[in-house]
Amino acid sequence: MTAPAIVLVAGGPDEAPVTDAFRLIAASLRKARPDLRIRLARLGGVSPALPDVIADLANHDVGEAVLVPLDLVSAAGHDEELDTFPHSPDIHIAVSRPIGPASEVLNILDERVREALHRGGALEVDGLVLSAPAGGDVRGTSLLGRRARQWSAHHRLPVQVAVDDGDGRATAAAVASLRGQGRRHIAVGSVYLTPTGAYVNQQQAALRAGAIAVTAPVGDTAHLGRLILARYAFGAMELLDGTPTQLKVDDLDGEE
């Protein structure tokens, strides 16, 4: 029997930069794992729609698929569309945990901070902001706070968390708070997967508030690919016992 297909499920606006970023993530994963069927599906009426992607897999005699939500701020919850969309009974579906604010995300942010500092010609950092979009679940928000504490301990620098509603105000306030403590070389690590309007707003707000560097979106990285495959592996295991249900939430801190 062939391995279940991976369906990367992504929200976000129907904008070319966002779509291109998701397509690049899917393409890199296909290159890394040519043995797996890997598809991209979009939510909220954006093409390719999830029901169409699943129908196409079923038409190609694929009997199982694992849906992996590309969400960096939720640890357990996912869009209700993943539970309610119509699909053929001939294909069994499991929904994995979202990518979430896993500890591996800090490795990505470290890489992105170095890139941002290099672009800006900066050499010194004395404060950090962990910026993320609003909309995550309670567990995800808690983990974001834990990641900030871990990031702070690793670099021995103060870290402020900013959960932004899309206008950049929370990020600007976090930068201002660090500046109020006497910090003048502040970098913002953005836990945004793609360059959405919300990402651009927090980037511009951070720079206006005095940040010297703001990271690019997480986008396509080997770290993200490993996280996707880890979520897929647990989902595929769930399908083995014939009960394709939502996976239980474990403690992410000890997993990655």
DSSP symbol at 97? P
Task: Using the predicted structure, report yes or no on whether residue 28 has a pLDDT greater than 70.
Answer: yes
Average pLDDT over residues 243-256: 44
3-state helix, strand, coil in the chain (%, to 5): 45, 15, 40
pLDDT band, residue 228 (cuts 50/70/90): very high
Residues near 27 by beta carbon (within 8 Å), at least 6 away in sequence: none
Task: Using the predicted structure, report yes or no on whether residue 240 has a pLDDT greater than 70.
Answer: yes
What are the tokens at 213?
């560097």
Average pLDDT over residues 11-23: 95
Domains of the chain: 5-100+220-254 (3.40.50.1400), 104-214 (3.40.50.1400)
CA 163 to chain centre: 14
Q: What backbone torsions phi and psi does residue 133 show, to the nearest 5 degrees? A: -75, 150
DSSP symbol at 49? B
**Closest alpha carbon to 112 in 134, 130, 135, 133:** 130
Q: Percentage of the chain surpassing pLDDT 70?
A: 93
Task: Using the predicted structure, report yes or no on whether residue 256 has a pLDDT greater than 50.
Answer: no
**Bridge partners of residue 8, in order along the sequence:** 40, 68
Average pLDDT over residues 134-146: 94
pLDDT band, residue 249 (cuts 50/70/90): very low
What are the tokens at 113?
């901070």
CA–CA distance, 213 with 238 (Å, rounded to integer): 42
Helix axes of 138-155 and 104-120: crossing angle, nearest 10 degrees: 60
pLDDT band, residue 250 (cuts 50/70/90): very low
Q: Percentage of the chain surpassing pLDDT 90?
A: 81
List, for residues 144-201, the tens digit of each pLDDT value: 999 999 999 999 999 999 999 999 999 999 999 999 999 999 999 999 999 999 999 9
Average pLDDT over residues 25-36: 96
Region of 100 (left: φ > 0; alpha: ψ -120 to 50; beta: rest) is: left
Q: Answer whether 219's CB lies under 8 Å from 192's CB.
A: no
Task: Using the predicted structure, report yes or no on whether residue 203 has a pLDDT greater than 50.
Answer: yes
pLDDT band, residue 244 (cuts 50/70/90): very low
pLDDT at 104: 94
CA–CA distance, 98 with 77 (Å, rounded to integer): 7
Task: Using the predicted structure, report yes or no on whether residue 1 has a pLDDT greater than 80.
Answer: no
Average pLDDT over residues 85-101: 91
Q: Which residue has the higher pLDDT, 77 or 166?
A: 166
**Closest alpha carbon to 40 in 15, 82, 9:** 9
pLDDT at 252: 44
**Closest alpha carbon to 59 in 74, 75, 37, 33:** 37
| Other Cβ atoms within 10 Å of 49 Cβ, number | 16
CA–CA distance, 55 with 38 (Å, rounded to integer): 14
DSSP E strand boundaries for 191-232: 213-214
Global confidence as pTM: 0.90
**Closest alpha carbon to 213 in 106, 128, 108:** 128
How confident is the prediction for the chain on average, in pLDDT?
91
